[in-house]
Structure 1
């Protein structure tokens, strides 16, 4: 075999050396890309073109072997590279070398409020995908957090479109620096899992353009993503994966996207709509009554034999087909046919280190009464760790983002690792939630079965809590169905498995009580006033336990900030206050632009924890907020500056947030909207000046009557805050 490959290579070298004039233009990477695209396209048959626009296996689509154009290989997901599955089945392929490094979920990444962390994340994840020879990464997700019950929120970047847009751009650039395309998803309005294939979303154009599209637009125009994934839901009565308004009018015409539109698996429903409405590659569909177990069904896909038959009968032409193939060829030239793309690396210690750095920076200190944290060896010699989530693997489960990892450090093990011989650590389960360890074909290897009664578990936990100097309860959600998981929405805001009652009892048994919440969603905390310290821990990936321990023990000063609002109760959320979540066959976004903190402020509802909130083990003082001018014209940039000083005894980082308020708008607008942020690192006693630039687009709203962005002349405020509620000051200015 080696001899055959060597002879073939020698033949090609000799051919290229002696007959370069015969080399097809599409193989010559010194030529302009569009010239190469047209040359390759001109050499393809109609059947070869049809083959390229639909899958040949669960995660691959064909190239053109005759012309040396490689296959395209896709992979989930946004948090780590999915294990290999069989060619025609969802079952695992049982490889022994596909155990990845799991990175924190995207809710955690966005909670860093750090563009450098997004770049680091993308670069390392892209290296893992490249090494596994994947040229399309199915992520990241940037759908807006509309309800805390959406099962898939953990895969997204929060409730604010500006923040999501700012964080997705460096992620894309990091991944694509490896010659791997990002496939930003799910375009668009994919905000519930209930009836996700059938629900028709009704939303006004202002909300569409101001809330639900900006992160996708940033991904296309600033990040330069090479692929976009359509959503399952309908919009304007048409499936999002072949939606003329979303894919043609907005994505192609308004944003000038020249990449590939990939259908979410099973998201295609009609051949002619798929032909004319902007879809390029169809994946995961089962048509003509074929079952999930049927093999080699790919020729029956909507964009396969049915499309070819329409061409051969003369009912449709080939212009649209050629456009689809052009987009796919650009993908090939940017990835598999780029001879300079790096080789990548997989499952490395360097990737694990990067995952831990991101995880540590994402953890949010929500409450710390009387400075209970960090853990102190002088006061807390004996630590009781309680809760199933202290030991349960969280890299498995959740749907398509379920991972087979090289290793995962649990919170309990992380605390034990850090405690060493200086602290005594004891553990009690407290409750049994989900003892299973098999999700989406990924087997965790854990056996958490526990036959003890609820009373026995509670009694043990109370005894352990009373005997300890401090209690660390690790609870929250998991990635089982109807929690943080694809396919189903949560049923309630409350914590599952009777945790609320247990937390109350434990906090009475030991007043030095720390609650660590593992989730990608907000949860109700009816006991909040009874618990002195609360930490938001997210799904943190491979190094989860070590990252949590480093914050609890103070080795890392927490600097994460919330990217969505924690409501006190479910009806405080706009979608639920208006009975607009979830929809069945139809859902109307009655709250329009007033999502998240915008709704809370409009209705004057105090949240449990506000958007942008996060404490530190040090303190910061804001001062000298000023603008460089009092009046600004439409084409000028206003600069607003603020001094921030670390007034505590520890080094730390602060996220300085800029909000804009239009005080004279003729249309309803939020009280304020995030339009800038900077994360700064300050040594104890150090002071820095942060400067924000404010341009016309930061002051604009979308006028749905004119179908354009409008910056209305009048009075504005630039507001500086440490969160959406913790306002440090503002400056007024006038837009001419």
Structure 2
């Protein structure tokens, strides 16, 4: 241990006190030993440090900070150097705001397009996500503070996220859902990891010894701190045994007492606590050095805004350019239509909401663009309300234009932490506007703003499509620079765009039933499914257009990697993302038909040729063998493919790789769906064969009393009438708020009440309600109203008396 001397001076109670928060965002301090509090702040794409009342849902405004493009946006840049630069500037602002731990990046896989938090995650591919995440971490931690990779692991939906049991086979877990974390932790060397809310194969992740000890600590050699997601601790002692150092937010000392009692009665040894304290002290000491003597909020806001603009410019994706409608020609008459042109949609909703230092808008910068702007029309109501008057006004403007710039997308209430989308559709009132505009002027360029994939049955009605994703506070100007050709678009999609939601591999098993979600599609998520099962996609993984063209040639393959050349054949400078995909020819072990194993972004002047090198690494040919329980390599011929997207393969060659001669882990005849890749409707029996066990019951047990880990939603089945009434009031409130247009407030009910487990009352209220009081609430819920009320009031009095007797903390 690095801090044994100071640990030996601590009382058992002081050690335990460090294992949970002091308040909502700070860790505990011990002044007599020179142990200071750490401050943890949300920050995947900007610092969210709240100056006033703290919350985890983005309700209260935070200190102004640069709002960079979201992870889903920057992922389209395919540029780790850009990721490191963004991380560098995030780190500078964190230091300026005295933040020790920046809670990001988020690197969960995009298993399904409807996950409400997809805007905060990079990719559907673990290699791609891991490389981008590692670059962010290096940038953030170059300033001495800590990044915090989240949410570990298999947290791929928001519905019932605090109780859902993710049922996934071991090979898929390793190859798809853990590889990004493995790369981020080993290559980025993150100092902090955040555990996820969900269960993984029956155990809460922060209590899961297989995940937290055998994989994270033993295999990957991680020696940093694990922090719970806010309110994500279930059994504090089980979490401590698994190596979960820090529980957030505060529980007002309740779980500290649990730790002390567990050591005194021999449930755990004090040495287990000492190891956790040592890791936490190392994080405190290593991060506080960089914060000492730094003036508050001392950073160049204009320079940081410029970096945010650069990040947006490099991440914008050109998806359609019929008749070369883009870039806009000089003095062309342009009508700007759509609410997002005036009020940009530039970030997600929830705990990642940033209060930007400034905010560019399209209308603000339209006057500086070298086109003839003939005016602006709102065109549609932001939250879906139909308006024939607005459509009529927009059409009148469009009639007089050469080109219509139509700003469309999803609103803030549709993509948000805590709930998943209901469908992949753009709001109908926007589609009605598009159809009406098409009748008066077919020269339409859509500028799309959303953080995840959407269906586009209307795409034939547009000639140009520029996807800005959620491009941060400087995104509006960045998009205009792409539209006018000042910037040549170089973004490529980091996720597949299906033609319709029914085509997606998890369609029949998302977000799962009540108690669990079964990952029956196994490793076939995203392009791995579409490419293997030969399902057409609207836009494939890795796709993106440019204002120039690139030629690939001269592929050379060795045991160490590949080299090839790229030539810019066009008349403007541009960047190309070359992608390395690998296919195994043996067929003995089921695999996707292609898997991304490397990429390189290359900038080229017109007519310029460059040699590109992509090295193989330890992940290029490996697979996880469930018999040997380790990574193996299959002896086989491998097809090496270089492409501009997963579908646009330009160069191919083969190489023979000698493998590790591991035993065959599967019987082909028992897993036909997985060998064909046609996994959108796998039978339970076949999935259980892959799992090696029976799947758990997926529905809530409606016969037993409700307990700590049951949700408020389950009150509809409660024995207590008061609980059932409360449930119906919650449902009515949600319906009524949506009906009157208060969708964001309605969403909060779902996020913070409806799907909350009962233990969340104790874990998220900072000690206002403790577990003993919760026992009384559960008695009331389960039909013993007066007995439960007496118990609740009795425990409340006891808590207040004990608070009066305890002297104020140092």
TM range (shorter): 0.7 to 0.9
Q: Which moved more, 1:497-506 or 1:140-149?
A: 497-506
Aligned residue among 215, 228, 240 for 1:250: 215
Q: CA deviation at 1:244?
A: 1.7
Q: CA deviation at 1:126?
A: 0.6
Q: Distance in 2 between matches of 1:610 and 1:63?
A: 51
Higher share in helix: 2
2:416 counterpart of 1:485: yes
2:612 counterpart of 1:612: no
Count residues in correspondence: 657
Do the aligned partners of residues 91 and 580 (structure 1) sit closer, same or farther apart at CA in structure 2, a change above 3 Å counting? closer
Q: CA deviation at 1:665?
A: 3.6
Partner of 2:281: 329
Q: Distance in 2 between matches of 1:339 and 1:348?
A: 19
The answer to whether the 8 A contact 2:107-2:180 is kept is yes
Partner of 1:6: none
Partner of 2:253: 299
Q: Distance in 2 between matches of 1:549 and 1:331?
A: 43
Aligned residue among 297, 302, 305 for 1:352: 305
Q: Which moved more, 1:700-709 or 1:115-124?
A: 700-709
Aligned residue among 571, 582, 587 for 1:649: 571
Q: Distance in 1 between matches of 2:368 and 2:463?
A: 25
Aligned residue among 1, 7, 10 for 1:44: 10
2:342 counterpart of 1:384: no
Q: CA deviation at 1:86?
A: 3.5
Alignment of 1:617-628 (within 5 A): 617-628=547-558
The answer to whether the 8 A contact 1:194-1:582 is kept is no
Aligned residue among 239, 261, 274 for 2:226: 261
Partner of 1:9: none
Alignment of 1:507-546 (within 5 A): 507-546=438-477
Q: CA deviation at 1:83?
A: 3.8
Q: CA deviation at 1:347?
A: 5.7
Question: SS of the counterpart of 1:335?
Answer: helix
Partner of 1:196: 161
Do the aligned partners of residues 340 and 115 (structure 1) sit closer, same or farther apart at CA in structure 2, a change above 3 Å counting? farther
Q: Distance in 2 between matches of 1:374 and 1:91?
A: 40
Partner of 2:400: 467
Partner of 2:478: 547
The answer to whether the 8 A contact 1:101-1:347 is kept is no
Do the aligned partners of residues 706 and 453 (structure 1) sit closer, same or farther apart at CA in structure 2, a change above 3 Å counting? closer
Aligned residue among 111, 124, 131 for 2:89: 124
Q: Distance in 1 between matches of 2:57 and 2:635?
A: 59
Encode CA deviations 1:332-351: one digit per residue, 9 max, x unaligned: 22211458997784362111
Q: Distance in 1 between matches of 2:291 and 2:461?
A: 60
Encode CA deviations 1:638-668: one digit per residue, 9 max, x unaligned: 3322211000000000001110010114111
2:593 counterpart of 1:662: no
Partner of 1:214: 179
The answer to whether the 8 A contact 1:139-1:182 is kept is yes
The answer to whether the 8 A contact 1:241-1:264 is kept is no
The answer to whether the 8 A contact 1:697-1:711 is kept is no
Partner of 1:719: 641
Aligned residue among 146, 168, 180 for 2:133: 168
Do the aligned partners of residues 649 and 676 (structure 1) sit closer, same or farther apart at CA in structure 2, a change above 3 Å counting? same
Question: SS of the counterpart of 1:355?
Answer: helix
Partner of 1:581: 511
What is the RMSD of the two structures over their aligned residues, measured on CA atoms?
2.1
Q: Distance in 1 between matches of 2:198 and 2:557?
A: 44
The answer to whether the 8 A contact 1:469-1:512 is kept is yes
Unaligned runs of 5+ residues in structure 2 are: 659-810
Unaligned runs of 5+ residues in structure 1 are: 1-33, 286-296, 436-451, 629-636
Q: Distance in 1 between matches of 2:8 and 2:225?
A: 19
Q: Distance in 1 between matches of 2:188 and 2:491?
A: 24
Do the aligned partners of residues 195 and 391 (structure 1) sit closer, same or farther apart at CA in structure 2, a change above 3 Å counting? same
Q: Normalised by the size of structure 1, how large is the TM-score? A: 0.86
Q: Distance in 2 between matches of 1:208 and 1:453?
A: 44
Partner of 1:563: 494
2:99 counterpart of 1:134: yes
Q: Distance in 1 between matches of 2:366 and 2:352?
A: 26
Q: Distance in 2 between matches of 1:328 and 1:404?
A: 30
Question: SS of the counterpart of 2:288?
Answer: coil
Q: Distance in 2 between matches of 1:673 and 1:310?
A: 47
2:382 counterpart of 1:433: yes
Q: Distance in 1 between matches of 2:173 and 2:437?
A: 45
Do the aligned partners of residues 505 and 259 (structure 1) sit closer, same or farther apart at CA in structure 2, a change above 3 Å counting? same
2:625 counterpart of 1:674: no
The answer to whether the 8 A contact 1:504-1:530 is kept is yes
Q: Distance in 1 between matches of 2:554 and 2:312?
A: 33
2:457 counterpart of 1:505: no
Aligned residue among 329, 332, 345 for 1:394: 345
Q: Normalised by the size of structure 2, how large is the TM-score? A: 0.78
Encode CA deviations 1:79-131: one digit per residue, 9 max, x unaligned: 11114144666699988x92111000001111110111011000000110111
Do the aligned partners of residues 414 and 524 (structure 1) sit closer, same or farther apart at CA in structure 2, a change above 3 Å counting? farther
Q: Distance in 2 between matches of 1:582 and 1:85?
A: 38
